Amino acid sequence: MPKAPKEYQRLPGRGSLVEGNRWLAVTRSLCTVWMARDHLLLISRTGYTETYKRFYFRDIQAVIIRKTAAAFVWNIILIILALLFFVLVVWATAPPARHYWDRLIWASIGGFFVFLALFNLWRGATCVTHIKTAVQTERLAAWNRMRATRKGMAMIRPRLLEAQGGLPPQELRARLEERIIRQNSLTH
């Protein structure tokens, strides 16, 4: 008997959604995005529970992607910590000479922070992604890196165009010009 085709395809990216205080999380959910023939499925896992949210391609009004500086800030923090431990290595070699293991421990900790900074650099730029429908705007925590977001958008774009149809360039230009004129008339 032939296998039934898979109904869902997992899209790139995985992220966590924190509810509560940023530093003291009340709940932390692991989020993934899946694509079916006619909709996206957002799965949030918290412990033993899963929450599903379905977004039909015909209902999606916008996918909002905003680049953030979180990766850059984390790299600065990690490099400062690494430099701090490398300064301790230099301090541990100054007379009176300390034991060899002091320098080894400080250098290992500094190297660990350098490794974390390089890993964060390899993962790429961070972003916040939201999906907007007529009823809600939902954060897609799984798409928190630009690389995963671009790959995911490339995968869903054909389905969005199939479900909604594309705008001809002339109509798109006319709508944008109309919106700009409307905004300028409101500000003056």
Judge whether 39 lies within some domain. Answer: no
Name which residue leads in pLDDT, 2 or 30.
30
Which tens digit of pLDDT belongs to each residue from 18-51?
A: 776 666 667 778 999 999 999 999 999 988 899 9
Judge whether 166 lies within some domain. Answer: no
Judge whether 77 lies within some domain. Answer: yes
Judge whether 17 lies within some domain. Answer: no
pLDDT of 165 reads 81
Which tens digit of pLDDT belongs to each residue from 138-185?
A: 999 999 999 999 999 999 999 998 888 877 788 878 888 888 888 888
Judge whether 14 lies within some domain. Answer: no
Judge whether 168 lies within some domain. Answer: no
Residue numbers of the domain that contains 99:
70-123
Give the chain's domain count.
1
Judge whether 141 lies within some domain. Answer: no
Judge whether 162 lies within some domain. Answer: no
**DSSP collapsed to 3 states, the chain:** CCCCCCCCEECCCCEEEEEECCCCEEEEEEEEEEECCCEEEEEEEECCEEEEEEEECCCCCEEEEEEECHHHHHHHHHHHHHHHHHHHHHHHHCCCCCCHHHHHHHHHHHHHHHHHHHHHHHHCCEEEEEEECCCCEEECCCCCEHHHHHHHHHHHHHHHHHHHCCCCHHHHHHHHHHHHHHHHHHHC
Q: Considering the entire predicted model, what is its pTM?
A: 0.76
